[in-house]
Structure 1
Amino acid sequence: MLRPIPVFIGYDPRERVAINVLIDSLVQHSSQPLAITPIKLDQLKGIFQRKRIANQSTEFSFSRFLVPHLSGYEGWAIFMDCDMLARGDIAELWALRDERYAVMCVQHDHSPGEKVKFLGTVQTRYEKKNWSSLMLFNCEQCKALTPDYVNSASGLELHQFKWLADDSCIGGLPQGRWNHLIDVQPPDARPAGEGGPALVHWTLGGPWFQQYRKSGGELASEWILSREEAFRLWD
């Protein structure tokens, strides 16, 4: 039976345009049906109870780790930040699921030099930076991520995957193909069908913010074109 691919996306009210363009890009490129769920905090009352802290750059910094709970700790699910754009088929990523692992992600070696990122938010440095911005959860193996744990664990415990037995539980996804970090990794605007990135990520600030209008060069122009297509008015 063909089941929709469950995709959870972090929601931040400052990036409503970004999440809508991302959703449209996922749908337009996918060869399989998708079940897309924005993780919006006011829809998680009684489940997510953390107070926002100073170095939290988005509303979904910690709520992302509720995906296994929201999935009933069954099957697999994808989480991604909202500041991304799909350029290829998300079914290709879905096909990489490996039962040996509890979670799979692109294992970036990202040690930011800047002290601030978009809208003046603090840029933090820590091991496994950006690993959690795109995750394939094997939900049955993530039962440690209860609402109580997600509400009480430190940011480093969550983002450094301390809730797993050890790092052998983390599977790697192809570098450059998925979760390509714009203005962090070497530029690559090749089409996804020609080996370019299938999912790009404006982790430092994207073209939906005026001051980052040209971030990513050709990819910024591609995002703007995707937005125009998604919101085009028809006669």
Structure 2
Amino acid sequence: MTMTVTNGEVHPVTANGGFTIDKPFKIFVGYDPREDIAYEVCHHSILKRSSIPVEITPIVQSDLRTNGLYWRERGQLESTEFSFTRFLTPHLANYDGWAMFVDCDFLYLADIKELRDLIDDKYAIMCVQHDYTPKEATKMDGAVQTVYPRKNWSSMVLYNCGHPKNKVLTPEVVNTQTGAFLHRFQWLEDEEIGSIPFVWNFLEGHNKVVEGDTTTFPKAIHYTRGGPWFEAWKNCEFAELWLKEKDECVKEEKK
């Protein structure tokens, strides 16, 4: 069996779903220094359960600024450092193949291969198409909660980076276009946006598990209101799952 080493982890290389045998699946995770532990736990939860090779890269705003890829001034409504940098995903993937962007406040409970196998080349992007209006006025550590069409669609996106339409997402466009243009995917037609089951972006406090219906069990929990790493959200739904993963993550780092 062929093996590959990614992020210090050894993985078997498999040919599946049109992906070449030696190419890891690229995953870009939004990073904010205030949520470093959230990033580490998200990273750990993906690697721990993945049966395919993956390449996980944090999108760090300070690094992008140093490299001349990001120069946008931070707006008052940006609750994280990756509010806009997320849209650089196709550029960071060299406009080649498929790549995933995900917020750092996710906990993966299933094999990322299951998500990757949902990919359909006819789409420019694929995401969970939430119908979501938050009830809270604030989230996380007091950040203002905004309401807009297609809210949370951009929090986990599979990008067909080589799709001609996604070549629009140059650093220039990401730095100058409006939040509406980017977060509502206005560079695309509706039929170019594929749908993914909600369990891959299961919104804590909004989506519900139906007892006895396994199709409603979360495969990736999104602590979009705020997670247990914030004092105000330490008792949120599914907090115990995140805390258990954090303990495992910390123990492995100490080793």
The TM-score with structure 1 as length reference comes to: 0.93
Q: Distance in 2 between matches of 1:112 and 1:179?
A: 15
Q: Distance in 2 between matches of 1:189 and 1:38?
A: 35
- Describe the shift of the 1:130–1:8 C-alpha distance in structure 2 as closer, same or farther (beyond 3 A): same
1:220 aligned residue:
239
Contact persistence 1:105–1:131 (CA under 8 A):
yes
Q: Distance in 2 between matches of 1:228 and 1:189?
A: 28
Helix, strand or coil: the match of 2:40?
helix
Helix, strand or coil: the match of 1:78?
strand
Q: Distance in 2 between matches of 1:185 and 1:212?
A: 17
CA shift, 1:113, in A, is: 2.6
Q: Distance in 2 between matches of 1:113 and 1:18?
A: 23
2:144 aligned residue:
122
Q: Distance in 2 between matches of 1:148 and 1:85?
A: 32
Q: Distance in 1 between matches of 2:134 and 2:251?
A: 37
Contact persistence 2:29–2:58 (CA under 8 A):
yes
Matched, 1:26 2:46: yes
| 2:78 counterpart (46, 56, 65) | 56
1:154 aligned residue:
178
Q: How big is each residue's C-alpha offset from its partner over 1:12-34, in whole Å with a ceiling of 9 and x where there is no partner?
A: 01100000011011011101111
CA shift, 1:100, in A, is: 0.9
2:248 aligned residue:
229
Matched, 1:172 2:195: yes
Where in structure 2 are there 5+ consecutive unaligned residues?
Answer: 1-20
Where in structure 1 are there 5+ consecutive unaligned residues?
Answer: none
1:203 aligned residue:
224
Helix, strand or coil: the match of 1:8?
strand
Percent identical pairs in the alignment equals 45
1:37 aligned residue:
57
| 2:122 counterpart (91, 94, 100) | 100
- Describe the shift of the 1:209–1:47 C-alpha distance in structure 2 as closer, same or farther (beyond 3 A): same
Shift >3 Å, 4+ stretches: 187-190
CA shift, 1:188, in A, is: 6.5
Q: Distance in 2 between matches of 1:189 and 1:205?
A: 25
Q: How big is each residue's C-alpha offset from its partner over 1:37-69, in whole Å with a ceiling of 9 and x where there is no partner?
A: 000011112101111111101000000000000
- Describe the shift of the 1:51–1:30 C-alpha distance in structure 2 as closer, same or farther (beyond 3 A): same
Helix, strand or coil: the match of 1:19?
helix
Q: Distance in 2 between matches of 1:195 and 1:114?
A: 24
The TM-score with structure 2 as length reference comes to: 0.86
Helix, strand or coil: the match of 1:15?
helix
Q: Distance in 1 between matches of 2:211 and 2:49?
A: 17
Q: How big is each residue's C-alpha offset from its partner over 1:68-95, in whole Å with a ceiling of 9 and x where there is no partner?
A: 0011111000000000101000111011
Q: Distance in 1 between matches of 2:176 and 2:110?
A: 36
Contact persistence 1:188–1:197 (CA under 8 A):
no
One-letter code aligned to 1:40? V
Contact persistence 1:207–1:224 (CA under 8 A):
yes
CA shift, 1:213, in A, is: 0.4
Contact persistence 1:189–1:197 (CA under 8 A):
no
CA shift, 1:114, in A, is: 2.1
- Describe the shift of the 1:179–1:60 C-alpha distance in structure 2 as closer, same or farther (beyond 3 A): same
CA shift, 1:163, in A, is: 1.5
Matched, 1:6 2:26: yes
Q: Distance in 2 between matches of 1:19 and 1:215?
A: 18
Contact persistence 2:59–2:82 (CA under 8 A):
yes
